[in-house]
Amino acid sequence: MTNTAWDTYSKQKPERRPTNAAGETTWFNWTQYADHGPGAEVLGIRPGATVLDLGCGKGGNLAHVAALDARAVGVDVSLAQLKAAESRWVDAGMVLHRTDAVWFLTESGEHFDAIYSVFGAAWFTDPTELLPAIRERLRPGGVLAFSQRPAIEGCYGCQASYINRSEDEDPLVVKRWDYEPERWVEILHQHGFTAATARVLPAPPGQRTIGTLLVRAHG
């Protein structure tokens, strides 16, 4: 049912704007807010690097990675999301795979200089399955980074997320994994990653208060 859920989500999610506030046609956004937070420098991408997006969605961040002259590989379980990515970023040179993140990491023979996920598969996959698979594919010293909404206090581990449909239909359910920043650091070190950091970026000034959890580590 997960594919159906994410295809449903895809219909509700608007496309990225043509340009950001700086007038750029590609950019990296780790947060749920426009023109907010750090950019692709978190990943330390050099030209020629191989970079993997887990749950690339409509491909906005991956198109920016490709524009940095990296080999930009994206995986996503949703055909609707990937079709949107292909049609918007037709000339970007991204390599897209419709598959589950753990399956791709386990079955593909490719190694990566950076692996990232923005509110993507890293949030919606059991870390005890995902992190060992990432370790296999991340080059030594490579960067793993992912962002997601911070945990709600007291709600840790596997949580349910609802994707709403029409008023006559039950919402669809996907699972996500939430932990406090210090727990993410422990989990990453337990799985052999080094120099792990995790912090909550504050929301931009305004009415919204929920920040963004940004987690980073080395392979």
Return residues touching ligand SAM (CB under 6 A).
Answer: 6, 55-58, 75-78, 81, 100-101, 118-121, 124-125
Alpha helices in 138-191 (DSSP H): 181-190
For the chain, count helices (H), then strands (E): 6, 9
Give me the least distance between CB of 178 and ligand SAM, in Å please. 14
Closer Cβ to ligand SAM, 7 or 189, answer by number = 7
Could you give the CA distance from residue 27 to residue 49 in angstroms, rounded to a whole number? Answer: 17
For residue 161, the SS3 value is: strand
CB of 130 to ligand SAM, least distance (A): 8
Min separation Cβ 77 and ligand SAM, Å: 4
The least distance separating ligand SAM from the CB of residue 202, rounded to whole angstroms, comes to 19
Using alpha carbons only, what angle is made at residue 114 by residues 19 and 48, rounded to the nearest 5 degrees?
75
β-sheet bridge partners, residue 52: 73, 115
Whether 76 and 98 have beta carbons less than 8 Å apart is answered as yes
Alpha-carbon distance 144 to 117, whole Å?
9
User: Smaller CB distance to ligand SAM: residue 50 or 78?
Assistant: 78
Nearest residue (CB) to ligand SAM, 121 versus 134: 121
- The partner residues of 114 in beta bridges, in order of sequence, read 51, 143
For residue 11, the minimal CB distance to ligand SAM (Å) is 12
Residue 6 vs 27, nearer CB to ligand SAM: 6
- DSSP, collapsed to helix, strand or coil, labels residue 28 as coil
Q: Closer CB to ligand SAM, residue 76 or residue 113? A: 76
